[in-house]
Amino acid sequence: MRIVVIRNLPEPAVALLRTAGEVHVCERDRALDPADLRRAVAGADAVVAMLGDRVDAAFADAAGPQLKVVANVAVGYDNVDVPELTGRGVTVTNTPGVLTDATADLAFALVLMATRRLGEGERLIRSGTPWFFHLGFMLGTGLQGKTLGIIGLGGIGQAVARRARAFGMRIAYSGRRRAAAAVEAELDARFLPQDELLRESDVISLHCPLTEQTRHLIDAAALAAMKPSAVLVNTSRGPVVDEAALAAALRAGRIAAAGLDVFEEEPAVHPELLELDNAVLLPHLGSATEETRTAMAELAARNVVGVLTGNGPVTPVAA
């Protein structure tokens, strides 16, 4: 079996893949352009892909009819045309669960950075600008008694809510469906329509998948509905937020701050956001711990091995 790995993986995952076939690793840490990607996957029985790799009909044509599985090293799979691949008999898998805690930690770090102006403070120190302590110096806002509004109370959203409760926050959420009663009870979480959530929340954290319905879910109208003191955090997918509208809202003071780990045209960032002290910007670090990234790669490898050996995938994506 020919197994193509689009970008470098931790060695334990590559070793696992070798138990099922001949592994070809594209030893680079950037997305291939479409032509190079198609050349790389030619003749593959299995492909381990990343978020930046567009897996569509042209990809499948280039790979050939023997392609059996595409393992996406991510929870989201908006880069994969799942109906197209499954229609050709190709199994698509993702890596849920293993990155929940790392991403939740990072999301709550963004909450703290944005509400307490931590990035702004560090830039001040590093710039060498003179400063002195006084009671009005670089005031942020506390979290105790404030409302965290979560859009998408799945595994990561629930993990963020648990962290928020430790800080004394109240939890509200919206989404396509209500969470189980046991989850609502554990988190003391209120289900609200999205328009109410936007109006009531002091911090809004996004944990929804990218679909046609969620693209620009946070647009100018949504931002206008938020409190002027509110903070927006996005660790889901960049296009869920209209970056131009967000930059305008931050510049005008229509909301207080934002923390972003993902971007619309990643790795590019809207240039106006780069100019704003009330925007905290991170380079997609949500799952970036050694333990988590290794676990993601190993889960992707187990999916490939399961399909190629006839035992089936561990975490298949439904068509």
* Angle between helix 118-127 and helix 100-116 axes, rounded to 10 deg: 70
Domain boundaries, the chain: 2-96+290-308, 100-281
Give tens-digit pLDDT for 59-103.
999 999 999 999 999 999 999 999 999 999 999 999 999 999 999
Query: Which overall architecture, per CATH, does domain 2-96+290-308 show?
Result: 3-Layer(aba) Sandwich (3.40)
266 catalytic, yes or no? Answer: yes
Same fold, 2-96+290-308 and 100-281: yes
Q: Is 154 exposed, middle or buried (0-12, 13-18, 19+ CB in 10 A)?
A: middle
DSSP conformation class of 86:
H
| pLDDT reported for residue 164 | 98
Q: Of 170, 237, 254, 302, which residue is the catalytic one?
A: 237
Dihedrals φ, ψ of 55, to 5°?
Answer: -110, 105
Q: What pTM does this model have?
A: 0.93
Q: Which one is the CATH code of 100-281: 3.30.70.260, 3.30.465.10, 3.10.20.70, 3.40.50.720? A: 3.40.50.720
Give tens-digit pLDDT for 134-150.
999 999 999 999 999 99
- Single out the residue of 209, 204, 207, 165 nearest to residue 188, CA to CA: 165
Q: What is the rounded average pLDDT of the residues 109-126?
A: 97
237 catalytic, yes or no? Answer: yes
Asked if residue 231 lies in contact with residue 110, where contact means CB atoms within 8 angstroms, the answer is no
